[in-house]
Structures are given as C-alpha cells and as structure tokens.
Amino acid sequence: MKALAKRGGVALAAATLSLSASIAQAADTIKVGVLHSLSGTMAISETTLKDTVLMLVEEQNKKGGLLGKKLEPVVVDPASNWPLFAEKTKELLEKEKVDVIFGCWTSVSRKSVLPVIEELNGLLFYPVQYEGEESSKNVFYTGAAPNQQAIPAVDYLMSKEGGSVKRWVLAGTDYVYPRTTNKILESYLKSKGVKDADIMINYTPFGHSDWQTIVSDIKKFGSKGKKTAVVSTINGDANVPFYKELANQGISAEDIPVVAFSVGEEELSGFDTGPLVGHLAAWNYFMSAPTDVNDAFIDKWLEFIGDDKRVTNDPMEATYIGFNMWTKAVEKAGTTDVDKVHDALIGISVPNLTGGVATMLPNHHLTKPVLIGEIQEDGQFDIVWQTDGEVPGDAWTDFLPESAKLIADWKDPEINCGNYNTETKKCSGQNY
C-alpha cells in the first residue's frame, strides 16, 4: 500500500509539473486567433486569409517573435455559419486566451462577433471592404469604407473616362453589406440627379446559382438607350454562375460593364476569364501593382504557399497592413494588453503594397488609395484609374441624413466613442 501511495504521489507530482510546464509554455507564447471560414459558401474567399495570417506569423517568428515570445496561431473554422462566428470568438477569447483575432469576411459575420468581442474586451482586425456605419472600440477596420471604394467607383463610371453611365443596376447578395452599401449608393446617385427609373436594385441569397432571369432583366434594363452599368456587391461563390450567365447572354463590358466590390484575383482564379475581359473591380490593392514592396510580398506568398499559380488580393493586403500595425503597436506598448495596444494603434503608420502609407485614424479606419482595375485574360487586373493619394476612411457616410451628423473618435477624450452626434454633442445608442 505504501509503495502504491508512493507511486501515486510521484504520478501526481509529475502531472502537476507537466501542467505547470504547460501553463508556463502557454505564457511564453502570444496567441493569434484566426477566424475565417474554411468551409461553406465563403471558403472560396476566406481560406486564403487564414493562410495569409499563418504566413505573417511564421515571418514574425523568424524575426524573433514579439516581446521575446513566439507567436502561436490558433485557427478555427466558423464554416460560413454566422452564429458560429460568435461561438468561435468566445472560444478563442475564453478558452484559448488569444491576444488578438484576425478574421471575418462578411458583415453579418462581423455583426455576430461584435457583442462577444466587446463584452470580453477582445481585439479584432477586420480586413474586408464593408458598408461602414460602425466604429467599435474593439475592432480595427483595415478594409475599405464606402468612401474608399463604392463612391469612387460610381464617380469613375459617371465620368467620360469611365463610360458616362446613366443607368444603374445595384446587384448584391442579401445581407447587411450589400443592402447598406446600396442604400448609400442610391442616395448618392439621386444627389447626382439620377432618377428612380434609372436605378434597378436586386438581391439574391448566398450561393445563388440560377441567374438566367436576373441577367435577362439586367439586359432588358440596359437596352433603354442610356449607358448602363452593374455595381456588384455579390459575394462568395455566387459570382461564378453570375459571370458565366453574363457571358451566356452575350453581355460584354462594352455593352454593360460590371464593377465588382467583392471579386478579386482569388475569385477570378476559378473563372474562365475570357468572356469577362473589360469588366471592372474597385479595390485598394491589385496584385499587378508595380512596386518593389508588392513584388517582395508576392514572392514570400508564393514561397510560403508552395504554388506559383496562386494569387494575391486586396483583403490579403488589408490583413498584411493590420498584422504589421498590431505588431508595431504591441512593441510600442510593450504588452499585448488590449487597452494599451488599442491606444498605441491610433496614429500608427505602415507601408501599404502600392507604394504609399496606411495610417490608423482615430475612427479605427485607414488611409487607403482607391484603384479601378480592368479584368484581363490571365485573371489579373490592369489598373485603369487610381486616386492621387490615400483617402481617409469615413466610418459614417455623408450620404445618409442620419449618419452625416455622426463621427467616430477613440482618441479625443471629450468624444471617445464610435458614434458622436455633432449636433447634440453626445454619443448615441450603442458605443459603436
């Protein structure tokens, strides 16, 4: 019995030592949460962003990590299931104890995450263009706001250079980003004198595949003697049959150009791009950007992924910018403490991949250039137009009456909220 008790005591001591070592080991790493869909309708877009974060983590670890610690990625799959994004966020923060999260693509997934990330005081970098109308203390938005993508794209199409478009089809997937963006665009178009009869709005579910009737309606709408364009906020794998049906019905870029906000190089890699030559996309980065820093990024990506046919795209650049800003802020703060890193992030600048500089503004949005690209046969974009410099991201649009009076400022101690009403001089509603 004494021998048994002794063996039991040794086993217990060994287990305790093992647990202590495990805890010590965990404390010696900085955990990076990766919250992107690896399955479901959005996997076509999001899987690449997971790989981008892993590449950036690996590269940072080769530099010695952060604060003397290695970075440890923690990958979860919310599977294009919007409520599951909230559950996985809670898992990352409460169980895995991650120090930061890079993730989400759709706005509905971000909206699902928002209450969790705020309640548990997490830190989320969101790397995709979105509808604006939000500024959370716990989220840094490294993708474009509407004034950095949607509005400039419409201005370009209205111009002589862009085709002097007079009629507009606003086609989107049925969720918050397309609906809010199109609400902003409809208001903007009307402010420019466009009549109701010259605006057609259509929404389809995620994964929509039968485009024959809708494309036929677009073709009919565009045959009224006025130059017509499609502004597309269609997301995910629904883009493949949409563009195929345009080609099937003989709609070319010369007839009815499409400018997309969610189709980049990654999505085009699954298309037969021949019939799509000449259609457009509006982003803040294209793989074809002729800069040394972009060439170096592409080389690192192709080496990491082990496939020289893979491409880069705008949300990858936004992830790259966000990751570099976070590491710089952690080094500046000397800690991964969310509140201290938050304060350190505002005002930080890092190079973008198009030859300029991204700066984090007090409203948690970036300065970004705006580029219009034309689809080429090889699936790349020829940059046909771009702004002279970086455009500051606007959290609240000037083209909706209820939003025009709101600003976000997380640096000014007299404001310190995401929805300060410049008329009432108060923050209103929820704190974002």
CA atoms within 13 A on the CB side of 91: 14
Answer for the pair 409, 431: CB distance below 8 angstroms, yes or no.
no
How many domains, the chain?
A: 2
Distances (CA, A) of 331 to 33, 68, 175, 284, 320: 19, 10, 38, 27, 17
Q: Measure the CA–CA gap between 147 and 131, rounded to whole angstroms.
A: 9
Q: What is the CA radius of gyration of the chain?
A: 23
Residue numbers of the domain that contains 157: 148-288+372-392
Position 269 confidence tier, pLDDT thresholds 50, 70, 90: confident
Query: Do residue 196 and residue 315 come from a single domain?
Result: no
78 and 217 fall within a common domain = no
**Per the domain annotation, does 416 fall within a domain?**
no
What's the full length of the chain, in residues? Answer: 432
Are 382 and 252 contained in the same domain?
Answer: yes
pLDDT in tens, 134-170: 999 999 999 999 999 999 999 999 999 999 999 999 9
Query: Which among 204, 205, 173, 201 has a CA at the least distance from the CA of 187?
Result: 201
pLDDT, averaged across the chain:
92
Percentage of residues of the chain with pLDDT beyond 70: 93
pLDDT of 334 above 90: yes
Same domain membership, residue 50 and residue 124:
yes
- Same domain for 276 and 376? yes
User: Is the model more confident about 317 or about 268?
Assistant: 317
DSSP 296-315: HHHHHHHHHHT-TT----HH
Question: Which domain CATH number covers 73?
Answer: 3.40.50.2300
State how far the alpha carbon of 408 is from the alpha carbons of 83, 149, 364, in Å.
27, 19, 8
> Based on the domain organization, do 133 and 209 belong to the same domain?
no
Same domain, 222 and 278: yes
pLDDT confidence of residue 432: 55
pLDDT(86) > 50: yes
